[in-house]
C-alpha cells in the first residue's frame, strides 16, 4: 500500500524491486546506477532489514562514484550520498537507526558490514508507523516480537548497561 501511494502521487517515482534475502552487492550497484541515471534526489526504502540496508547502500553509492566494492576495498567517499527515507515494515530490525549496512559480497562469498568513519549511512528520516505491521503474516509478527524481547534482555544484561538503557529495556519487555 505504501509503494502504491508513492507511485500514484504527483512525484516521479521509480520502483526498484530487485532486493532479495542476503542481497548481493551488485544489486546495490544496479540500484545506484538507476538512481544516478534518473537523477533521483531521494531514496525510499520500504521493508525489512535487508531492504533498508540496500536503500541506505544505494543512497550512499548514488551520491558518489564507482561501485560499492570500491568502498569495501577502502576507497574514500567524496559525498554523503542522497537523502534516504526508511519505512520499516517489520518491527525489531533497527536498520532505520544504524549508520552501517550489511551486504553479501559475491566476489568474496561473504557478508560484509560497511561502516565509514565520519560519513555514516544513517537514513535522513525514518517513518515508524505500527499500523504498517498489521498486514504482516502472523509468523513474522511472532518472530519480530521474540526478537524485540531478546534485544531487550540482551540490553538489560549487557556489561555496558546503564540506568537509561535498563529503563528502556524494561519498558520494551512490558510492551
Q: How far is it, in rounded angstroms, from Cα 126 to Cα 85?
A: 6
Non-local CB neighbours of 98 within 8 Å, separated by 6+ positions: 122
Q: Residue 77 gets which letter from DSSP?
A: P
Q: What pLDDT, on the 0 to 100 scale, is given for residue 77?
A: 87
Q: How confident is the model at residue 54 (pLDDT cuts 50, 70, 90)?
A: very high
Q: What pLDDT, on the 0 to 100 scale, is given for residue 117?
A: 67
Give the cell for residue 156. Answer: 538489560
Q: What pLDDT, on the 0 to 100 scale, is given for residue 30?
A: 96
Q: How confident is the model at residue 1 (pLDDT cuts 50, 70, 90)?
A: low
Helix 138-157 vs helix 163-174: crossing angle, to nearest 10: 150
Q: Which of 62, 51, 63, 65 is nearest to 23 (CA)?
A: 51
pLDDT tens-place string over residues 63-81 = 999 999 898 888 888 888 8
pLDDT tens-place string over residues 124-173 = 999 988 888 787 888 888 888 888 899 899 999 999 999 999 999 999 88
Q: Which of 74, 71, 78 is nearest to 101 (CA)?
A: 71
Q: What pLDDT, on the 0 to 100 scale, is given for residue 22?
A: 79
Amino acid at each position: 500500500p505504501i509503494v502504491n501511494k508513492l507511485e500514484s502521487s504527483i512525484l516521479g517515482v521509480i520502483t526498484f524491486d530487485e532486493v532479495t534475502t542476503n542481497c548481493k552487492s551488485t544489486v546495490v550497484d544496479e540500484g545506484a546506477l538507476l538512481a544516478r541515471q534518473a537523477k533521483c534526489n531521494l531514496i525510499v526504502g520500504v521493508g525489512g532489514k535487508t531492504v533498508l540496508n540496500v536503500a541506505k547502500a544505494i543512497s550512499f553509492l548514488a551520491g558518489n562514484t564507482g561501485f560499492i566494492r570500491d568502498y569495501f576495498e577502502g576507497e574514500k567517499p567524496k559525498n554523503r550520498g542522497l537523502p534516504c527515507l526508511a519505512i520499516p515494515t517489520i518491527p525489531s530490525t533497527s536498520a532505520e537507526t544504524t549508520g552501517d549496512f550489511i551486504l553479501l559480497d559475491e566476489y568474496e562469498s561473504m557478508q560484509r558490514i560497511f561502516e565509514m568513519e565520519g560519513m555514516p549511512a544513517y537514513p535522513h528520516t525514518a517513518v515508524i508507523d505500527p499500523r504498517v505491521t498489521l498486514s504482516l503474516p502472523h509468523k513474522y509478527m511472532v518472530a519480530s516480537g521474540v526478537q524485540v524481547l531478546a534485544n531487550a534482555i540482551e540490553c538489560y544484561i549487557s556489561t555496558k548497561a546503564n540506568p537509561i538503557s535498563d529503563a528502556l529495556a524494561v519498558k520494551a519487555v512490558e510492551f
